[in-house]
C-alpha cells in the first residue's frame, strides 16, 4: 500500500503540470487559481490563471478572459471557477486593468496578457472569449472590436458598451446575464434588440436578483451556449452525449419556469435554446412548444404586463434625468421634497399585485442612485469643482439611499467646509437618528475641525451616542 505522503505527491502530480513561461519552467496547479503570473512583454503586469482539473498540455482548451474594472484577477476568477471546471474552460484575468485608465491602455494591457496566455498554454484561439461584470463587462464588450481573436462575450449586468463601433464585418457572440431587478435590465433588452437587428448571435439570460453577479449555473449555461455554437460552426466535434445532456437540462429549466407560473420567462429561455441548438439538434418540437406557450392566456397577460411596465419605466427614467439636471444646475433645494415624494411612490410598487411592477420599482431605485453617482463623478471631474452642486447631489442621495451613511457624512463635511454649520448639524442629527454609531469616523471627518468642538455638535453626539468626545460647556 502507498503511504499517505506518497498519495499526496501523486495527487499533486495529477493536479499539476510544468510549463515554460518567460524562459522559466514553472509548475501550475490544476483546479486552483494562481494569483500572479508575470506578463511576458512587461514583468510589472500580472494576471490570475485557472486551469480545470481536466487540463492536459497535450490537448487544447477554450479560454475566457475575465475583466474586472479594478484589476481584481483572483476574485473575478473565483466567480467563474465552478462553471469553468464543469465545462472545461481555462480562465485568465489581468490584475492591471482599471476603469481609470484610457481604453487604449486597457486594450494594450489585455493584448499583452492574451499573448502570454497563448504562448504558454495550448489554447484554441478560435474559442477565445471575454467576460466581466458591470464596468468589467463594458470593457469586455469592447475588446472584440480591437482584438480579433475574441469571438464572444459574457456580459453580466451591463449592455454593449458602445453600439456605434459594432460592425457586421466583425461579428461576435454576445451573451448577456442580468437580474430582473437590475437597473441595467432594460438597457440589456435594448442591446438584445440591436444585436438581433445586426444578426449577431446573442442570448439574454435573466435571473431573480439585482445588480450583482449571477449564480454559477447561469455562467455555466453561457459556457454551454458557446460550446454548442462552436459545434455548429465545426470548431468542435459534435459530442452527442454533451448535446443531449445539456438539452435535457435546459428543457427542464423551461419546464420549471412554466410550472411555477412564469410563462413569460419560460418562453424567453425557450427562444434562447432554440437558437443555440438549431445547428446541432432537431428543434421542431421546441417550435411547437414555443407556439403553445405563446398562445396561452397566462403568457399573453404576462407579456402585456411586462411591456406596459417597460413603457412606464422609460417615462419615469426620463423624468429623473430631466429634473436632476435642472435641480443641480439651479441648486434647487426647494425640490428636495419632490425627490422624497418619488421615493415614497417607488415604495408603493413593493405592494403591487403585478410582479413586473414590483421588479420595476426596484430597478428604478437602482437606476436613480446610479444616475446620481454618475452626476457626482461628472462634477468631481470638472475643474474647478462646483462644490455646491456636489453637496446638492449628496443631499439627494440621502433621500434615495437613506440607509447609507456616506451621503450624510459628505453633506456634513462639505457644509462644514463653507461654515454652513446649520446644514451640517441638521444632517448630523439625521445620520445619528438612523442609528449611526461610528464615533471615531465622525470625529475624524474632513473639514469639520471647528464644527466638532462646538457645543451643538457634541450635544447631538452625547444625545444619541451617550458620550461626546468634548465636554459640553453650558453658559451660567
**Is 5's pLDDT higher than 80?**
no
SS3 245: helix
Averaged over 356-360, what is the pLDDT? 98
Which residue in the block uniquely carries the three cell numbers 442609528?
A: 435
CA distance 265 to 270: 8
pLDDT in tens, 252-299: 999 999 999 999 999 999 999 999 999 999 999 999 999 999 999 999
Does the structure show a pLDDT above 90 at 14? no
Q: CB count, 10 Å around CB of 139? A: 25
Does pLDDT of 237 surpass 60?
A: yes
Q: How far apart are CA 247 and CA 238, in angstroms?
A: 13
Query: 158 and 133 in contact (C-beta within 8 Å)?
Result: yes
pLDDT tens digit sequence for 422-476: 999 999 999 999 999 999 999 999 999 999 999 999 999 999 998 777 654 444 4
C-alpha dist (Å) from residue 274 to 186, 279, 431: 23, 9, 53
pLDDT at 26: 66
Average pLDDT value for the chain: 92
Number of H helices, E strands in the chain: 18, 10
Looking at residue 474, its pLDDT comes to: 46
Nearest CA-CA partner of 463 in 452, 472, 454: 472
Mean pLDDT lowest among 29-38, 180-189, 307-316, 332-341: 29-38
- Tell me the β-bridge partners of 28: 17
Mean pLDDT of 316-337: 97
Residues pairing with 29 in the sheet? 16
Longest dimension (CA), the chain: 92
pLDDT band at 11 (very low <50, low <70, confident <90, very high): very low
Q: In the predicted model, is pLDDT for residue 189 greater than 50?
A: yes
Do residues 452 and 470 touch, judged by C-beta distance below 8 A?
yes
Report residue 163's pLDDT band, with 50, 70 and 90 as the boundaries: confident
- pLDDT surpassing 90 at residue 358: yes
Q: Give the pLDDT confidence score for residue 28 in this predicted structure.
A: 81
Q: Report residue 306: phi and psi, to 5°.
A: -65, -45
Place of cell 437597473: 183
At 133-143, the pLDDT tens digits run 999 999 999 99
**Residue 331 cell numbers, joined:** 441648486
Check pLDDT > 50 for residue 7. Answer: no
| Contact criterion met (CB below 8 Å) for 287 and 274 | yes
Query: Looking at residues 225-239, what average pLDDT do you find?
Result: 97
Beta strands in 117-201 (DSSP E): 123-133, 150-156, 173-179
CA pair distance 142, 449, nearest whole angstrom: 46
Give residue 168's pLDDT band: very low, low, confident or very high (50, 70, 90).
confident
Amino acid at each position: 500500500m502507498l503511504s499517505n505522503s506518497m498519495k499526496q505527491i501523486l495527487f499533486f502530480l495529477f493536479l499539476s503540470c510544468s510549463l515554460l513561461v518567460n524562459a522559466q519552467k514553472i509548475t501550475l496547479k490544476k483546479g486552483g487559481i494562481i494569483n500572479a503570473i508575470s506578463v511576458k512583454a512587461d514583468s510589472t503586469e500580472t494576471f490570475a490563471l485557472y486551469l480545470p482539473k481536466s487540463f492536459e498540455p497535450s490537448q487544447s482548451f477554450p479560454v475566457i478572459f475575465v475583466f474586472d474594472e479594478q484589476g481584481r484577477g483572483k476574485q473575478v476568477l473565483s466567480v467563474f471557477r465552478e462553471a469553468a471546471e464543469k465545462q472545461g474552460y481555462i480562465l485568465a484575468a489581468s490584475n492591471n486593468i482599471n476603469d481609470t485608465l484610457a481604453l487604449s491602455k486597457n486594450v494594450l494591457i489585455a493584448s499583452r496578457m492574451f499573448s502570454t496566455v497563448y504562448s504558454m498554454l495550448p489554447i484554441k484561439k478560435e474559442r477565445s472569449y471575454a467576460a466581466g461584470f458591470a464596468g468589467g463587462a463594458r470593457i469586455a464588450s469592447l475588446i472584440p472590436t480591437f482584438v480579433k481573436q475574441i469571438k464572444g462575450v459574457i456580459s453580466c449586468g451591463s449592455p454593449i458598451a458602445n453600439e456605434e463601433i459594432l460592425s457586421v464585418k466583425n461579428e461576435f457572440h454576445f451573451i448577456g446575464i442580468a437580474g430582473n431587478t437590475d437597473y441595467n435590465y432594460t438597457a440589456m433588452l435594448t442591446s438584445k434588440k440591436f444585436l438581433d437587428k445586426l444578426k449577431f448571435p446573442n442570448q439574454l439570460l435573466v435571473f431573480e436578483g439585482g445588480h450583482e453577479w449571477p449564480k454559477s449555473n447561469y455562467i455555466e449555461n453561457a459556457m454551454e451556449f458557446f460550446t454548442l455554437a462552436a459545434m455548429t460552426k465545426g470548431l468542435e466535434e459534435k459530442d452527442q452525449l454533451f448535446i443531449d445532456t445539456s438539452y435535457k437540462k435546459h428543457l427542464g429549466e423551461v419546464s420549471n419556469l412554466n410550472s411555477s407560473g412564469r410563462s413569460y420567462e419560460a418562453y424567453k429561455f425557450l427562444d434562447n435554446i432554440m437558437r443555440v441548438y438549431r445547428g446541432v439538434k432537431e428543434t421542431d418540437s421546441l417550435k411547437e412548444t414555443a407556439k403553445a406557450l405563446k398562445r396561452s392566456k397566462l403568457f399573453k397577460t404576462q407579456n402585456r404586463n411586462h411591456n406596459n411596465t417597460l413603457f412606464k419605466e422609460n417615462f419615469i427614467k426620463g423624468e429623473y434625468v430631466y429634473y436632476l439636471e435642472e435641480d443641480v444646475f439651479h441648486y434647487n433645494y426647494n425640490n428636495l421634497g419632490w425627490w422624497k415624494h418619488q421615493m415614497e411612490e417607488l415604495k408603493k410598487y413593493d405592494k403591487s399585485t403585478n410582479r413586473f411592477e414590483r421588479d420595476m420599482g426596484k430597478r428604478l431605485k437602482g437606476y436613480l442612485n446610479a444616475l446620481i453617482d454618475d452626476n457626482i463623478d461628472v462634477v468631481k471631474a470638472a475643474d474647478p469643482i462646483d462644490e455646491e452642486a456636489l453637496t446638492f447631489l449628496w443631499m439627494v442621495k440621502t433621500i434615495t439611499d437613506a440607509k447609507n451613511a456616506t451621503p450624510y457624512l459628505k453633506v456634513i463635511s462639505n457644509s462644514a467646509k463653507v461654515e454652513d454649520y446649520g446644514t451640517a448639524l441638521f444632517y448630523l442629527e439625521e445620520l445619528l437618528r438612523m442609528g449611526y454609531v461610528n464615533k471615531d469616523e465622525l470625529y475624524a471627518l474632513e473639514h469639520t475641525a471647528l464644527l466638532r468642538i462646538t457645543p451643538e455638535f457634541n450635544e447631538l453626539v452625547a444625545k444619541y451616542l451617550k458620550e461626546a468626545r468634548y465636554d459640553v460647556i453650558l453658559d451660567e
